[in-house]
Amino acid sequence: MKTLLSILFISIILLTSCNQEPVQEKKFYETALVTTGSISGTDRVIATVEGNNTADLSFKTSGRLTDILVKPGDKVKKGDILAVLGNEEGSITSVGLSSVLSNLSGISESIDSLYASRLDNLTNDTTKAQIGIQIAEKDLELAKLTLVNSTAIFSGSSLSDVEKISQAEKNLEYTRNNLTNSTKLLETQGMSLQRNALNSLSNAFIIARNARDFTDEVLGVTDANRAKKDLYQNYLGAKNATTKTDAENAFRTFNTEYETMYAWYYANIVGKTEISKETLTEALTRSLTTMEHLRDMLHALSTVLENSITSSTFPDTDLASLKTKTSTFLSNLELTILDNFGNGIKGSMTAISAFDSDYTLKVQQLQDAVHIAEESLNLTKTGKDISSSDVKKNRDILTANISLKEDALEIAKVALGDISKNRKVLESERDSKLQEMNAKISETRLNYNLANNTIKSGTISAPFDGIVLTRNSDPGATVSALQSILSLTSTDGYILKANFNSTQTPLVIGQKVTLSRLSDQVSFESKVTSIREEADLTHNKQYVELAPIGTELRIGDRVELLLEKNDNKTKQTDIIIPSSAIITKYGETGVYLLENGQAKYILISIKASFANMTAISGLQSGQKVITKGKENILDGEVLE
């Protein structure tokens, strides 16, 4: 019984639900009135939105396409590399020559700096020599005055005793002042020589340290550099293996001497405010020995490089760079360290030795003059007669002193002349070396530019900011010069290019033209910016450029230009409907009319169309046509 009641209840529910009517779904649609009027016929032209500038990009040389870095639609900036040909050799050459060029420029600057320093030293030497001449002139003048005064005293002239004493006192004062002032000048000169010597030592250790590190990097003698296993180690000294062994031994000899000397130098020279003459002399002597070992090492390295061979991993440019650096170290060593003149180590040793002898002689002469003046004053005060032999002896001493002073003056003048000659020689030497180096730089820069031009001819770069339109080849392909690889359009503005018949659809610059985007049928306005009246051979039509009005369009959009014809005007009584109302069903063209809330499909004939309006037959003015939502409507359907 319970089962029967359950079945009866379910059946009632099902019957009730079956009697409910379906809910009518409301559909979205829009309508427009059918009107009368006239429109012109149109010529429809398809065009693509481009940038103001468009370019087909190609290589200037043929080769294998290594890579294309962009694809259609990519945005690029001016100068971006877009595609490259395989040119590994050119790249290696360019990098190598760039390094050589940098090294040569550094060497040129170093040479100029070194010679500038030496010329500055000569300027200082010139000043010192001029001061030396002035001192010698004053010494000579004082010696002559001393002789005159002493002669007056010794000869028993008519001067009174008081005048003789006054004269003798002045003579003594002159000689003492001369001794004091000359001694100070000599001490100043000695301090200057000491500073120059210390600078020479400092420069020597800078050059020695850099040369040692460079040589070890090339030869790989120490553990730190031996483990690097440079690619060119097998090619160094390959023509004569003994040269490499000799160079390694020379390095070890120098390195041992350098480390010993540097430890002594740091303990006895660095940071010391007072350095004795003996310590300085020892420093110069030991440094000279170290630098001579350095010279031997660099010459040995140069011999290794001359006996080396090149390969793909050790090209000519790398070998030339090593030779240039070695030559520079040797040049710096000879110019600033081992030069017998100037302020190098040898020059400092020579100058200090000469100064010591000159200092002793000059001070002794000045002290003798003071002693003579003191003796003359004492004799004058006591009034003792001076024997003729004593007078002659004193006169001979004073005369000899004058002769020494004259010789000293001549030597000082000769020294100044020698400095002037040395300056001219040094300037000529500097100019010659700089000219030689500049010639090497010019030659290297020429080869560097040639290598870069080779690389550049195998590179495609963006000529302007833009968007890639097409890519016509793929990596790995072999391409020829001037073959189009990519096409690019700029992003600085939009343009449309088309061909038209100027007889049927005449255009003028500035004229507005309607266009429709093919993807969504949205209409836009454009303006004619350029016309070429000559017909092209392919289409027998004229060429026109148009600029879109507004920014809704984008590069690459396909559009339809609606060009109004001038010989196809419809009558004023034609029926006009929006083009959006037209629909094709069952292979026929028609529209949906809305009459009394019901949609009816009516066939029509199209006479002409322009922009978004179409002239047709088959309808009457005042009727309503459905323009939107028509795709989902059925013939005879009732619409709310």
pLDDT in tens, 23-75: 444 568 889 998 888 776 667 788 878 877 888 888 777 777 778 888 888 88
pLDDT at 255: 92
Task: Determine the average pLDDT of the residues in 134-160.
Answer: 68
Residue that wins the pLDDT comparison between 301 and 543? 301
pLDDT at 391: 56
Task: Determine the average pLDDT of the residues in 205-225.
Answer: 85
Whether the per-residue pLDDT at 508 is higher than 50: the answer is: yes
Residue that wins the pLDDT comparison between 531 and 87? 531
Q: What is the pTM of this model?
A: 0.43
- Of the ranges 69-83, 96-110, 525-539, 544-558, which is most confident? 69-83
CA–CA separation, 308 vs 313, rounded Å?
A: 13
pLDDT at 11: 45
Whether the per-residue pLDDT at 9 is higher than 50: the answer is: no
Angle, alpha carbons 47-51-52 (nearest 5°): 105
Q: What are phi and psi of 161, to 5 degrees?
A: -60, -40
- Res. 340 pLDDT band, cuts 50 70 90: low
pLDDT at 249: 93
- Res. 390 pLDDT band, cuts 50 70 90: low
Cβ-proximal residues to 218 (8 Å cutoff; 6+ apart), any chain: 236, 301, 322
pLDDT at 19: 41
Residue that wins the pLDDT comparison between 159 and 440? 440
Which candidate, 505, 499, 522, 512, places its Cα nearest to that of 549?
A: 512
Residue that wins the pLDDT comparison between 582 and 347? 582
Convert the pLDDT of each residue in 612-640 to its tens digit: 788 888 898 889 999 988 888 888 888 87
Task: Determine the average pLDDT of the residues in 205-221.
Answer: 87
Angle, alpha carbons 30-36-42 (nearest 5°): 85
Whether the per-residue pLDDT at 13 is higher than 60: the answer is: no
pLDDT at 236: 86
- Res. 297 pLDDT band, cuts 50 70 90: very high
- Look at strands 574-578 and 588-595 and give their pairing: unpaired
pLDDT at 89: 47
Q: Would you tell me how many other CB atoms lie within 10 Å of the CB of residue 324?
A: 19
Which candidate, 418, 390, 458, places its Cα nearest to that of 59?
A: 458
pLDDT at 4: 43
pLDDT at 396: 67
Cross-strand bridge partners of residue 530: 545
Q: Would you tell me how many other CB atoms lie within 10 Å of the CB of residue 486?
A: 25
pLDDT at 21: 42
Convert the pLDDT of each residue in 113-139 to its tens digit: 767 766 777 777 777 777 777 877 877
Q: Which of 415-424, 464-473, 600-609 has the lowest mean pLDDT?
A: 415-424
Whether the per-residue pLDDT at 1 is higher than 50: the answer is: no
Residue that wins the pLDDT comparison between 385 and 627? 627
Q: Do the beta carbons of residue 583 and residue 631 sit within 8 Å?
A: yes
pLDDT at 277: 83
Convert the pLDDT of each residue in 398-413 to its tens digit: 676 677 677 777 777 7
The number of helix segments (H) and strand segments (E) in the chain equals 9, 23
CA–CA separation, 115 vs 279, rounded Å?
A: 29
pLDDT at 171: 74
Whether the per-residue pLDDT at 18 is higher than 50: the answer is: no
3-class DSSP state for residue 539? coil
pLDDT at 381: 77
Contacts by 64-70, CB closer than 8 A, 24 or more apart: 64/476, 64/477, 64/478, 64/479, 65/473, 65/474, 65/475, 65/476, 65/477, 65/478, 65/479, 65/485, 66/475, 67/475, 68/471, 68/473, 68/474, 68/475, 68/485, 68/486, 70/468, 70/471, 70/486
- Res. 341 pLDDT band, cuts 50 70 90: low
pLDDT at 395: 67
Q: What are phi and psi of 56, to 5 degrees?
A: -90, 125
Which strand (E) or helix (H) includes residue 96? helix 88-154
Residue 399: CA count within 13 A, CB half-sphere: 7
Task: Determine the average pLDDT of the residues in 251-271.
Answer: 90
pLDDT at 93: 53
Question: What's the mean per-residue pLDDT of the chain?
Answer: 76
| Share of residues in the chain with pLDDT > 70 (%) | 78
Burial label for 428, CB within 10 Å (0-12, 13-18, 19+), is exposed
CA–CA separation, 38 vs 198, rounded Å?
A: 106
CA–CA separation, 320 vs 441, rounded Å?
A: 13
- Res. 256 pLDDT band, cuts 50 70 90: very high
CA–CA separation, 218 vs 205, rounded Å?
A: 20
- Res. 300 pLDDT band, cuts 50 70 90: very high
- Of the ranges 103-107, 126-130, 456-460, which is most confident? 126-130
Domains of the chain (ranges, CATH numbers): 25-41+568-640 (2.40.420.20), 54-86+458-487 (2.40.50.100), 90-455 (no CATH)
pLDDT at 555: 78
| Share of residues in the chain with pLDDT > 90 (%) | 7
Q: What are phi and psi of 37, to 5 degrees?
A: 165, -160
Dmax of the chain from CA atoms? 182
Q: Residue 176 to residues 132, 181, 302, 362, 398: CA-CA distances in angstroms? A: 19, 9, 59, 14, 16
pLDDT at 298: 93
- Of the ranges 298-307, 489-498, 528-537, which is most confident? 298-307
